[in-house]
Amino acid sequence: MWEAEIKDHMELANTTKKLVIFLTPLFAAATFAQNIIFEVKKTISSRVYPKIFLLYLAITAAYATAAPVDYRVSFDGVLDNREYHSPLTDQTFFLARGELELGLVLDEYHKIRGGVAYTQEFGALETVDNLHLLLYYHYDNGKNAQFRFGAFPRVGALGLPVWFFGDEAAYNRPIIHGAAVEFGALDGVTLGAWVDWTGRQTAVVNEAFLFGYNVELNHGMAFFRHDFIMYHLAHTRPARPNSAVRDNGGVSVEAGFLLDGNAYFDALLLSAGGIISLDRDRGGRDWYTGIEYLNIAPWHTPIGGFLNGEISKSLFVVKGFFYKGEPQRLYWADDAFSYSGLESYGWLDLGIRFNKKDYIKTELSQKFHLYNNKIGFSQHFLLRVELRKGKV
């Protein structure tokens, strides 16, 4: 009995020691980097940024090797060239992003992870805002449950449909500051919930956060998915004159079937669903339409339906989508669903996927956008390389 208690105390002491060894350099490096960043912003010396990055990695790596660790290294290259007509916006996104994570393995299920992510948009200034620090707790039972808390990469933790969180939003906000949980409640049923804090209230920054949940049901080839998202944009402190709190979100459902491994194709997906925006201004004026109200502006709930499809064979993939309904009012969505005024919108995506390997994925595609009796075009090149040790 005494031997068992002594063993438990020793295991607890060892775990505590690992945490101290791992977290001390992380906090020290983060504090040092924060101070340097403050000085850099005053002196505008862009050549300091790589030094901050290398110093942080060196300190973290030196100390972390004293305990069992795993790692993840990734690189993302994006070229997203959009040639649209009004009301959609012509824009090109050309960027590269690198991420490095080290994870302290507490036991089979629990980890503390830290690292950095750096995004460089080509042609843009090299600023400290491109550098993101990662620090979070990760639980994964290897079966049906995961939980993350802290600052962690969006990829792999949260997958939202484009009518809620578009590509542009994903380019600009690659890191979640908050928490995400996912677990399998029953056989074929997966539940998830998350929160992403996007603005800490100051005199010039509005308090703001995103939150949502999702439910997925899978039975054989058939699937059903339900998503909810809400963006809460509150005041600055003190509040600006004539400002008002805004709430913007939506609800969607999608059902269909996914067939893999057929003799004629690698994958076939067909689905249909519906989208409802939830948008209101708590002041007496609708910021979008300019309509004045006696009290709080009412909820605006435009509704519409969509058809979605995808088929792939070998290197080739074809995707199609069509929406019909009232113009959506979704703040973080792709252009067509974000106050564009479009009642119908569709796209056809013709792509080629190279390098079908676990650690590298490459896709080149030509996309045709159909709206208001017009055709828009966009070209996409996506490259992702990821190397890892252990279960990340």
pLDDT digit string, tens, across residues 124-149: 887 777 889 999 999 999 888 999 99
Q: Which of 73, 166, 155, 77 is nearest to 121 (CA)?
A: 77
DSSP 266: S
Q: Is residue 184 in some structural domain? A: yes
The pLDDT of residue 38 is above 80: no
Distance of CA 358 to the CA centre of its chain: 21
The predicted model gives 231-252 an average pLDDT of 91
Q: Residue 147: which region, alpha, beta or left (left: phi > 0; alpha: psi -120 to 50)?
A: beta
Pairing mode, strands 222-233 and 208-219: antiparallel
pLDDT of residue 53: 56
Where do the H-state alpha helices sit in 98-233?
167-172
pLDDT of residue 391: 58
Q: Is residue 227 in some structural domain? A: yes
pLDDT of residue 5: 52
Place of tokens 């962690």: 152
The pLDDT of residue 40 is above 50: no
Question: What is residue 163's three-state secondary structure?
Answer: coil
Number of neighbours of residue 297 by Cβ within 10 angstroms:
22
Q: Is residue 378 in some structural domain? A: yes
User: In angstroms, what CA-CA distances link 303 with 127, 273, 277, 291, 338?
Assistant: 41, 11, 7, 20, 13
pLDDT tens figures, 346-378: 999 999 998 777 889 999 999 999 999 899 999
The predicted model gives 310-333 an average pLDDT of 95
**Do 274 and 326 contact (CB within 8 A), yes or no?**
no
Q: Is residue 95 in some structural domain? A: no
User: In angstroms, what CA-CA distances link 111 with 206, 302, 334?
Assistant: 33, 43, 34
Q: Is residue 228 in some structural domain? A: yes
The predicted model gives 375-390 an average pLDDT of 91
The predicted model gives 155-180 an average pLDDT of 93
Calculate helix-pair angle for 2-43, 49-64, nearest 10 degrees. Answer: 170
The pLDDT of residue 251 is above 50: yes
* 301 residue type, one letter: T
Q: Count the domains in the chain.
A: 1
**Do 172 and 193 contact (CB within 8 A), yes or no?**
no
pLDDT tens figures, 3-18: 555 555 556 555 555 5
Joined together, the tokens standing for residue 222 give 């058939």
pLDDT of residue 67: 62
The predicted model gives 244-253 an average pLDDT of 94
Residue 365: which domain range?
139-389
pLDDT band at 160 (very low <50, low <70, confident <90, very high): very high
Cα–Cα dist 376/367, whole Å: 8
Q: Residue 161: which region, alpha, beta or left (left: phi > 0; alpha: psi -120 to 50)?
A: beta
Phi then psi for 312, rounded to 5 degrees? -135, 145
Radius of gyration for the chain, computed over Cα atoms and rounded to the nearest angstrom: 23
pLDDT of residue 125: 82
Joined together, the tokens standing for residue 10 give 């020793």
Distance of CA 30 to the CA centre of its chain: 23
pLDDT of residue 48: 47
CATH number at 256 reads 2.40.160
The pLDDT of residue 35 is above 60: no
Which neighbouring-strand residues pair with 81?
Answer: 92, 379
Per-chain mean pLDDT for the chain: 85
For 314-318, the CB contacts below 8 A with 24+ separation are 314/266, 315/352, 315/353, 315/354, 316/351, 316/352, 316/353, 317/349, 317/351, 317/352, 317/353, 317/363, 317/365, 318/348, 318/349, 318/350, 318/351
pLDDT of residue 43: 42
The pLDDT of residue 197 is above 60: yes
pLDDT of residue 210: 97
Q: Is residue 182 in some structural domain? A: yes
Counted residue by residue, the chain has a size of 392
* 124 residue type, one letter: A
The pLDDT of residue 30 is above 60: no
Q: Is residue 146 in some structural domain? A: yes
Q: Is residue 6 in some structural domain? A: no
pLDDT of residue 283: 82
Phi then psi for 358, rounded to 5 degrees? -65, -30
